[in-house]
Structure 1
Amino acid sequence: MPYARPTLTQLRQQALQDVLDGGISNVSAVLRFSVITVITYALAGLAWLHYGYLDWIAKQAVPWTATDEYLAAWGALKGIYLKDATAASGSVTFAVTGTNIIPAGTTIILGGALSAITTADSVTANGQTVAPAECSSTGSAGNIAAGSLATLSSPVEGVQTTGTVATAFTGGADIETQDEFRSRVLDAYQNPGGYGTAADYKGWAEAVAGVTRAWVVPNGFGSGSVVIYVMLDDANAAEGGFPQGTDGASSNDTRYTTATGDQLTVANAVWQKEPATPLVVVCAPIAQATDFVISDLGDENTDANKALIKSALQDMFLRLSGPGVTIHENAWQEAIAAIGLASYDITSPNGPIVPTVAGAMPVLGTLTTES
């Protein structure tokens, strides 16, 4: 049974009762603003602060309730560290005259608000110059879709002022939240491993900035191989959380095609920790859109309720879906029932959602609501 911490009111009443019960001779009652009352209230306040401090100490004493630097210390004991925010990177293209280029270090404005710095001199061909660039600030806000507006912050000779994002800016991630970090720390204590188990590969992948979910398939590409599927739900929210790049192995592994983009970032990070022999291939799950039709809503067929249904289904897929994972009917029935609609009928789907190919991951497709 947990210890019940006394409230400040209870401590005040206890202190006054101690006075009245003989703590001070010849005192049978006290006035509200008497010196004795003020002193007992002050002592009760000090005791309440002490209880609070002891309560805080107890929380920091175990990893499942520790916070801030104390949680970081618990994680460090297992080699788990808070994921820092990262900056997104991509490339931009501008029309040019002749062979002019954009030099490295040039500031580019993306989408009219975010700034990026070119990391190398641009390459010019056929009247266009393309330059790699990285956002000046960290965070998921830097993930910009291909085709977005790009503007030179100051003129460059022979280069048109406005251009476009040639390849999407990806890889930008916000600093890891305390809840997400605590979940990884607890996983490390529950699965001590470190020898190349499936849980180890999952943990190594999820330790990469931006990665929120990972699944491991032993021997997925043949004996001795390990396939890791990853999702970046926050960093790549504009792409449904799916990695932006091509599947493959680390640039250090010559036995398989080298990955690019997000997959390469994860593969190179895992390479530093994995055992020497397995071939590790990092892949993006294949989105398998599943359409939903909700009928018989009657007067509750409103935009607000449709938004609630969509949110409930998205949460269900986030919690339960994965590459090769079958989702059963009771899952979406429970998700929609929790909204509290007076009446409804789920017309489609009318059976389990089964992945159709290897690596396929069910996601929400089109949602249709009918009265």
Structure 2
Amino acid sequence: MFNRPALTDIVARTRGDLLTRLTQDELLRRADAEINTRVLAGASHEIHGYLDWISLQIIYDTADDELLVRWASIWKVERKDAQFASGNVLVTGTAGQTIEAGSVLKRPDGALFDVTADTVLGASATAVPVLAEVAGVAGNTDAGMQLTFLNPIANVQSVVVVDSNKLANGSDIESIPDLRARFIERIQNPPSGGAADDYVEWAKEVPGVTRAWVYPKEMGAGTVTVRFVRDDDPTIIPDPTEVAAVKSYIDSKRPVTADLYVVAPTPVTLNFNIQLTPSTVAVKGAVEASLRDLLLREAAPGVTLLISHIREAISTAAGETDNVLISPTTNQVYTTGQMPVFGAISWV
């Protein structure tokens, strides 16, 4: 590891080197030797600083954001771009009326969505495809949410609703920590022509996917089952549209001999009942954050979540001095496909 010397050390080295090369008479005639020493040391200190920076950029786990993206790209690990939420809204109006592409809908919070294709209304509510104007997870919209046409259309009801499949697949640009983790994982687990790790990596290459697991032969000989979650979405469990997107992507990568199944984990809500000391808002928030972090690190389909780890997460929360975990009281065991998701905390 490169150790950058302090400026005072560089000054002392330069002064010592300079003085050893001058006689006493020369010192008297050249009283500006100290000034020269400091000027040279300052320049050297800047060079040492650059060397210190370079030493961090050549290692993947310490490289700055811009260079990390470049390093990852060389290894063919591309940063995932933000994606636009899309889906259908149900529009009611006079049969035969056309909803033109480019018509704009507005959500109550101001988010805008564009109609993507000319659609002729039928006798009942008609599905009209829309796309969020701004990429990101904020564009995802629950089924049943009401949107309003920004400019009213004759013979068409201004208020529409999102259909049962919701507006989905919106995701933010991949964070640098997530890219770094995925990049290092790629180096440590190089592609192996369809090995288990390959399926995990392929799933995580899809925008919005943050964690994935693979289960060979779960559906029988020659089968591969993949489950995944989207931790940055309001609900981490993917919907059918998001599941289909991951399956389509992996199908384009996997060996043709494997039968692929991509399914969403089955969520099982995990609630907590805790007696906490001190029982302040700040400490309660710290405990909740610690428990959520535990699930982020250890929750997986079919996992056994240890009660000792739950107790540890509570006890290590900032500000906590004592606690009693009233429930759960035992290890939390989940069957195939089941996955614990954070529910609520009851404070005693």
- Letter matched to residue 310 of structure 1: E
Q: Is 1:67 aligned with 2:47?
A: no
The equivalent residue for 1:242 is 237
Aligned counterparts, 1:303-318, within 5 A: 303-318=281-296
> In structure 1, what is the equivalent of residue 244 of structure 2?
264
* Residue equivalent to 2:13: 14
Q: Give the Cα separation in 1 of the matches to 2:186 and 2:23.
A: 56
Cα 1:54–1:346, aligned 2, differ >3 Å: closer, same or farther?
Answer: same
Counterpart of 2:330 in structure 1 is 351
Q: Which residue of 1 aligns with 2:267?
A: 287
Q: Which whole-Å CA distance do the structure 1 matches of 2:157 and 2:39 have between them?
A: 71
Whole-angstrom CA distance in 2 between matches of 1:224 and 1:25:
87
Q: Which runs of 5+ in 2 are unaligned?
A: none
User: How far did 1:37 drift?
Assistant: 5.0
Mapping 1:121-132, distance limit 5 Å: 121-122=118-119, 124-132=121-129
SS at match of 2:121: strand
> C-alpha distance in 2, partners of 1:82/1:302?
40
Matched with 1:274 is 254
Confirm or deny: 8 A CA contact 1:101 1:159 kept in the other structure.
Answer: no
1:159 maps to 2:156:
yes
Trace 1:1-371 onto structure 2 (pairs within 5 A): 2-22=1-21, 26=25, 37-122=34-119, 124-166=121-163, 167-234=165-232, 236=233, 238-239=234-235, 241-245=236-240, 261-295=241-275, 297=276, 300-339=278-317, 340-355=319-334, 357-370=335-348
Query: Which letter maps to 1:271?
Result: D
Q: Write the distance in 1 (CA, Å) between the matches of 2:200 and 2:330.
A: 30
* Alpha-carbon distance in 2 for matches of 1:229, 1:330: 26
> What's the offset of the Cα at 1:127?
4.4
* Rounded Cα–Cα distance in structure 1 between residues aligned with 2:156 and 2:24: 92
Number of residue pairs the alignment of both structures matches: 346
Flag the 1:42–1:175 CA change in 2: closer, same or farther, 3 A: farther
What 5-or-longer segments of structure 1 have no aligned partner? Answer: 246-260
What amino acid is the match of 2:324?
D
CA–CA distance in structure 2, aligned partners of residues 133 and 198 of structure 1? 36
Task: Look up the SS of the partner of 1:208 in the other structure.
Answer: coil
Q: Distance in 2 between matches of 1:25 and 1:155?
A: 93
Cα deviation, residue 135, structure 1: 0.9
What TM-score, normalized to structure 2? 0.90
- What amino acid does structure 1 have at the position aligned with 2:4? R
Pick closer, same or farther for the CA change 1:186–1:23 going to 2, 3 Å.
Answer: farther
Between 71-80 and 324-333, the greater mean CA deviation after superposition: 71-80
- Cα separation, 1, equivalents of 2:223 and 2:215: 9
Aligned residues: percent identity? 33
Q: 1:194 to 1:73 in 2, by over 3 A?
A: farther
Give the drift of 1:242.
1.1
> Quick one: structure 1 residues 72 and 294, their matched pair in 2 at CA, closer, same or farther if it must change by over 3 Å?
same
- The SS at the match of 2:45 is helix
Question: CA contact under 8 A between 2:93 and 2:157: conserved in structure 1?
Answer: yes
Is the 1:112–1:151 Cα contact (8 Å) retained in structure 2? no
Instruction: Classify 1:27/1:325 alpha carbon distance in 2 versus 1 (closer, same or farther; 3 Å).
Output: farther
In structure 1, C-alpha distance between the alignment counterparts of 2:316 and 2:216, rounded to whole Å: 36
- Asked whether the 8 Å contact 1:112–1:150 carries over to 2, the reply is no
Q: Given residue 287 of structure 1, which amino acid in structure 2 is its aligned partner?
A: P
CA distance in 1: counterparts of 2:89 and 2:66, whole angstroms: 39
Please report the RMSD computed on the Cα atoms of aligned residues, expressed in angstroms. 2.5
